[in-house]
Structure 1
Amino acid sequence: MDILDRLSLFSPLDYSAFGLLVALWIAIDWRIEHPSSKHPSVSVVMADYRREWMRQMITRDPRIFDATILGNLRQGTAFFASASMISIGGVLALVGNKEQLIGIADDLTLSRDPDIVWEIKLMVTLFFVTNAFLKFVWSNRLFGYCAVVMSSVPNEVDDPRTMPRAMKAAEINVTAARGFNRGLRSVYFGLASIAWLAGPIALIGAVLTTCLVLWRREFASHSRSVLLSGDDHIA
């Protein structure tokens, strides 16, 4: 079976649902990381707090507290990276098990599509999970870089190297957090893509629900209101 024959196995609605999945995944990522100045996302607000953290770290003596927080952040990325690796193995095992794929087809839909259709659908999920794994691993490494740069910040406030190095640590910290958040969003859309096994309508519903959840958490959640409340918000 050539590529054209395989593509013909999917309906126009399947292609529309898949296009919606990819488009909204890219769009929500971009919007969260590039919101309007009047309506920032939680991720952007937290980036400001991370920069302030590095400024406060300069005068904190000793800096054990900062090292502990950074260690906890690295543990979080390591946990999600491990979970993603396990998920990758599970999806690959499912793709290689033809009988289990046929069982899923019988349980979720009345139609009997060829095995290749189910394998391709699972490959989409595998893509998102793999992307999440790579994001988590890189985020973990960046937090490690941040720890090294933080350690190089002089204890003397008047040292001309102090503030520039603290700001370097802040930007690496922000970049690491951005990668971690992208990994989480990839997990969310990977979970949504599993709904494609039940058909394109289910995939569309899952994708829209995922976007709604992400939008609410970033732009309309109680935690965002708390971060922005009061006069001490970091501009």
Structure 2
Amino acid sequence: MTLLDQISLFAPPDFAAFALLLIAGVLTGWVIEHPPASRPSVSLLMADVRRGWMRQMALRDNRIFDAQLIGNLRQGTAFFASASLITIGGVLATLGNTDQLIGVAEDLTAISAPAIVWELKLLVTLMFLANAFLKFVWSHRLFGYCAALMGAVPNDVGTSDALARAAQAAEINITATRGFNRGLRALYFALASVAWLLSAWALVVATVLTMAMIWRREFASASRLVLLEGAGEDTAL
């Protein structure tokens, strides 16, 4: 079966739903990382908190607490990277058993379609899962860089490069967190993409609900109000 033959198996709503999924994944991340100045996202507010953490770390003589925190962050990224890899294996195993896949899909949708249709839909889920895995692995490595930079901060804050090293650690910490958040969003949209097995319209609904959930957590959550109060910003924003 040629590529054109495979494409012809999908209806226009399928293409529209797939395009919406991709655009939503890219656009959601861009808005979170580049929000309007008048309405910062939780991710942006937490970046300032992390800079404050590294400044306080530089002033502490005993940094065991900071080492434990960065260790916990690395454990979290390692857990999600492992979970993503296991899920990728599960999807690949499903792709290798197309007969069972077709049976389950037809039971759920009452639609008869060639195996290639269901496989291509699962490949979209696999794409998001692979992206999540790569983001988590890179985030884990960056948290390791951050730990090394934290260890390089002199105990004497009066040293010329003490605060400079702390600032470097903060920026690496923020970059690592950005990668971790991107990995989480990829997992969210991977879950949404599974709805395509039901229908194109189910994928549209799942994508919209996923976008709404992410937007609420970043721009309309109770945690954001707490961070705004801590930053001295008007909570009416």
Same-fold status (TM-score > 0.5): yes
State the distance in 1 between where 2:158 and 2:38 align. 35
| Offset of residue 230 of structure 1 | 4.7
The residue that corresponds to 1:165 in the other structure is: 165
State the distance in 2 between where 1:231 and 1:101 align. 51
| Offset of residue 131 of structure 1 | 0.5
State the distance in 1 between where 2:106 and 2:196 align. 14
Does 1:200 find its partner at 2:204? no
Moved over 6 A (4+): none
The residue that corresponds to 1:89 in the other structure is: 89
Q: What letter is aligned with 1:61? A: D
SS where residue 60 of structure 2 aligns?
coil
The residue that corresponds to 2:180 in the other structure is: 180
Percent of counterpart pairs with the same letter? 61
State the distance in 1 between where 2:117 and 2:43 align. 37
| Offset of residue 46 of structure 1 | 0.3
The count of aligned residue pairs is 233
Whether the aligned pair in 2 keeps the contact of 1:136 and 1:180 (CA below 8 Å) is yes
Does 1:43 find its partner at 2:43? yes
Does 1:135 find its partner at 2:135? yes
Q: What letter is aligned with 1:139? A: S
| Offset of residue 38 of structure 1 | 1.0
State the distance in 2 between where 1:108 and 1:20 align. 23
Q: How does 1:115-154 map to 2 (within 5 A)?
A: 115-154=115-154
* Structure 2 unaligned spans of 5+: none
Write out per-residue CA displacement over residues 188-228 of structure 1, whole angstroms, 9 at most, x where no aligned residue: 00000000000100000000000000000000000100111
Does 1:55 find its partner at 2:59? no
RMSD of aligned Cα (Å): 0.9
State the distance in 2 between where 1:85 and 1:21 align. 22
State the distance in 2 between where 1:231 and 1:214 align. 22
State the distance in 2 between where 1:161 and 1:16 align. 53
The residue that corresponds to 1:27 in the other structure is: 27
The residue that corresponds to 1:64 in the other structure is: 64
Whether the aligned pair in 2 keeps the contact of 1:102 and 1:115 (CA below 8 Å) is yes
Whether the aligned pair in 2 keeps the contact of 1:105 and 1:113 (CA below 8 Å) is no
SS where residue 229 of structure 1 aligns?
helix
TM-score (ref. length: structure 2): 0.97
State the distance in 2 between where 1:101 and 1:38 align. 48
The residue that corresponds to 2:106 in the other structure is: 106
| Offset of residue 232 of structure 1 | 5.2
State the distance in 2 between where 1:199 and 1:85 align. 26
| Offset of residue 102 of structure 1 | 1.1
The residue that corresponds to 1:17 in the other structure is: 17
| Offset of residue 26 of structure 1 | 0.4
| Offset of residue 104 of structure 1 | 2.0
| Offset of residue 158 of structure 1 | 1.2
